[in-house]
Structure 1
Amino acid sequence: MGDILVGTCSWTDTALLAAGWYPPGLRDAEGRLRHYTSRFPVVEVDATYYALPSLRNSHLWAERTPDGFRFDVKAFSLMTGHPTRPTSLPADLRPALASSRGGRTGYDEVDAGLLDEVWQRFRGALEPLRAADRLGTLLFQFPPWIAPGPRAETFLKRCGERAAGWPVAVEFRHPDWWREDRYAATHALLADAGMSAVAVDMTQTLPVSIPPVTPVTAPRLAVVRFHGRNSAWGSGTKEERFRHTYSTAELTEWVPRLHAMAERADRLHVLFNNCCADAAVRAAESMRGLLGLPAGPEGQERQERQERQERQERQEDGGSPENART
């Protein structure tokens, strides 16, 4: 079975900072990240959706995290076909985006030269994470207007070409990608491109609800994102869309699914996106317990030290594990 890493989709969300999950006195970025890594082994970076990542931040994140920790980095909005404001780009690239109506062209109509430059800067800024073996995957969250069809498939393949050599996970927001009659084709499309599919948990009461399928399309990595089960999905404020406290029963129903996915992948990332107050970290802690996992890389190291010590003590006593229990 592959390794299962459980975490959240942010460690800097303002609602989380105000919720009291971080110990008193941890007001600096380094202290908060180090505390997070003592509890969880993976986190999603969502700030890179709103602006291109910073080379300096990548260096700092690599320096401040232990071996084994992973960052899943969300792709910049322009790279996934979302509307993008010129002000979210570096100043020298803004005129090119402004000339294409502020990024509000069709998702595959942005100037190819601009996209190439954005991709180059995006990859370059994340190189320290990859070099330090801290990069889990690049997360491509495609908007709901990217529906199955030749146009969307061509766009997806172009994204794959630009991301060549980098790990990529894909989350579709149009439900038809994973409908029963389309499932096999979508699975094959991602598998052929070497991209990891993202499974999601969300409310199933809406026309836009993504089916609760659990595809594994790349043996290296599988990803599950828990969005909460709020019926306000797709409308209202962020807090309204993602406000949900997972019950033990709701989490427990996913345990066999996660184990089954981990059987088919070297590593499984389980990320909670119900980022209202401390709901995501609490759900992640609960899921970690249900799966019988230790807390973060440091927790894993503590467990391994304890197991080594117990083995050594049994050897010194001249007994087997069975003898040690009697």
Structure 2
Amino acid sequence: MDIRIGTASWTDKSLIDCGRFYPKEASSAEARLRYYATQFPLVEVDSSYYAMPSPSTARLWAERTPADFTMNVKAFRLFTGHQTQPKVLHEDLRQALAWPEGRNLYWKHVPPEIRAEFWRRFQQALQPLQDAGRLGLVHFQFAPWVVCNPAGIEHVQDCAAHMPEHMLSVEFRHKSWFDEKHRADTLALLRDLSLVHTVVDGPQGFSNSVPALWEATHPGVALLRLHGRNTESWNTAGPTTAASDRFNYDYSEAELADIARHLRQLAARVASCHVVFNNNHEDQGQRNAATLMRLLKLPQP
């Protein structure tokens, strides 16, 4: 079974500051990525969610990683319905939109011709990874207010239609997609669009929680993303709240052993299975990923 395990990002501030994962000599962006790729076969690029990546940066990622390394890339936040500040946009697009600084911009505010340019630039930024054989999944984590209704379904279909040459994974953040009434239809939608369903391990009992459905909707890849199980911090928000605080959770070995059992069964149904630890407080994700690799008897790169 081909199971590739890694973490969401490799440059989180709390990870670097804790000093437990990277050796002292790995003090530059290049050295950290090169070292990370000796420990895990996969990483998820999360910076692409916060700002559109550049082709030159993607080219450096490809040059600094081995040929069999996989990089999943998180889709830019505008595409997934999240609020976006104009300051993170390219200067010419910001001027073309003429959107007030400090006021949140949403996809619905973007005119069709500028939407097309956003899609073009995003795919252009992915091209160096694609050319180098490093690009894995392009991950669409939709906003909690993208719900299972005609508008939400149309949004998912539109994203899929704009990226036919890439393999997309989809993660929903509203319980309506997988409630008893809509669960089967949601999985059928993903299969019809050739999209990879994301098995989510995270806190339960919230409107922006989804259950862990160990299903595969694409024969090529299955995806498991682990956010930790910290119910107290799941919906903590505020200008001083870091993502590493929200996903502060250290999986026990017993929890990881149970996850490994489900993972083996899922991986047997697809060509490749990707696992991304998003509990990114200090080195929790890296330690948990290494433990899961050991439990599954997977070799280090």
Q: Following TM superposition, by how much is the alpha carbon of 1:56 offset from its aligned partner in structure 2, in angstroms?
A: 1.0
Rounded Cα–Cα distance in structure 2 between residues aligned with 1:177 and 1:24:
45
Q: 1:159 to 1:263 in 2, by over 3 A?
A: same
The aligned counterpart of 2:74 is 74
Rounded Cα–Cα distance in structure 1 between residues aligned with 2:46 and 2:185:
29
The aligned counterpart of 1:4 is 3
Rounded Cα–Cα distance in structure 2 between residues aligned with 1:5 and 1:105:
36
Equivalent residues of 2:84, 2:106 under 8 A apart:
no
Equivalent residues of 2:78, 2:106 under 8 A apart:
no
- Letter paired with 1:216: A
Rounded Cα–Cα distance in structure 1 between residues aligned with 2:257 and 2:271:
22
The aligned counterpart of 2:15 is 16
Select the structure of larger CA radius of gyration: 1
Rounded Cα–Cα distance in structure 1 between residues aligned with 2:103 and 2:299:
44
With normalisation by structure 1, the TM-score equals: 0.87
Matches within 5 A, 1:175-214: 175-214=175-214
Equivalent residues of 1:86, 1:95 under 8 A apart:
no
The aligned counterpart of 1:146 is 146
Among all aligned residue pairs of Structure 1 and Structure 2, give the percentage whose two residues are the same amino acid. Answer: 43
The aligned counterpart of 1:270 is 275
The aligned counterpart of 1:287 is 292
Any idea what SS the aligned residue of 1:243 has?
Answer: coil
1:43-90 deviation digits (Å, cap 9, x = unpaired): 000000111111111111111111211000010111111111111111
Q: 1:128 to 1:88 in 2, by over 3 A?
A: same
Q: 1:272 to 1:233 in 2, by over 3 A?
A: same
Any idea what SS the aligned residue of 2:225 has?
Answer: strand
1:131-161 deviation digits (Å, cap 9, x = unpaired): 1110011000001000001111111111111
Rounded Cα–Cα distance in structure 2 between residues aligned with 1:108 and 1:191:
26
Rounded Cα–Cα distance in structure 2 between residues aligned with 1:159 and 1:289:
37
- Letter paired with 1:249: A
Matches within 5 A, 1:245-260: 245-260=250-265
Q: Does 182-191 or 89-98 show the bigger shift?
A: 89-98
Q: Is residue 2:220 matched to residue 1:215?
A: no
Q: Is residue 2:240 matched to residue 1:235?
A: no
Q: Following TM superposition, by how much is the alpha carbon of 1:31 offset from its aligned partner in structure 2, in angstroms?
A: 1.0
Q: Following TM superposition, by how much is the alpha carbon of 1:100 offset from its aligned partner in structure 2, in angstroms?
A: 8.4
Equivalent residues of 1:42, 1:69 under 8 A apart:
yes
Equivalent residues of 2:86, 2:105 under 8 A apart:
no
The aligned counterpart of 2:117 is 117
Equivalent residues of 1:243, 1:274 under 8 A apart:
yes
1:7-63 deviation digits (Å, cap 9, x = unpaired): 000101111111221011211111111110000000000000111111111111111
1:294-316 deviation digits (Å, cap 9, x = unpaired): 112xxxxxxxxxxxxxxxxxxxx
Rounded Cα–Cα distance in structure 1 between residues aligned with 2:74 and 2:155:
18
- Letter paired with 1:270: V
Rounded Cα–Cα distance in structure 2 between residues aligned with 1:244 and 1:66:
30
Q: 1:97 to 1:216 in 2, by over 3 A?
A: farther
Q: Following TM superposition, by how much is the alpha carbon of 1:95 offset from its aligned partner in structure 2, in angstroms?
A: 2.8
Rounded Cα–Cα distance in structure 2 between residues aligned with 1:255 and 1:126:
31
Equivalent residues of 1:230, 1:244 under 8 A apart:
yes
Any idea what SS the aligned residue of 1:78 has?
Answer: coil
Q: Is residue 2:83 matched to residue 1:83?
A: yes
Equivalent residues of 1:173, 1:210 under 8 A apart:
yes
Rounded Cα–Cα distance in structure 2 between residues aligned with 1:213 and 1:167:
20
1:190-230 deviation digits (Å, cap 9, x = unpaired): 11111101111112243432111122111111111100111
Q: Following TM superposition, by how much is the alpha carbon of 1:256 offset from its aligned partner in structure 2, in angstroms?
A: 1.8
Equivalent residues of 2:99, 2:105 under 8 A apart:
no
Q: Following TM superposition, by how much is the alpha carbon of 1:99 offset from its aligned partner in structure 2, in angstroms?
A: 3.8
With normalisation by structure 2, the TM-score equals: 0.94
Rounded Cα–Cα distance in structure 2 between residues aligned with 1:198 and 1:180:
18
Rounded Cα–Cα distance in structure 2 between residues aligned with 1:257 and 1:176:
24
Number of residues of Structure 1 aligned to a counterpart in Structure 2: 295
Rounded Cα–Cα distance in structure 2 between residues aligned with 1:116 and 1:107:
12
- Letter paired with 1:243: N
- For the aligned residue pairs, the C-alpha RMSD in angstroms reads 1.6
Q: 1:26 to 1:109 in 2, by over 3 A?
A: same
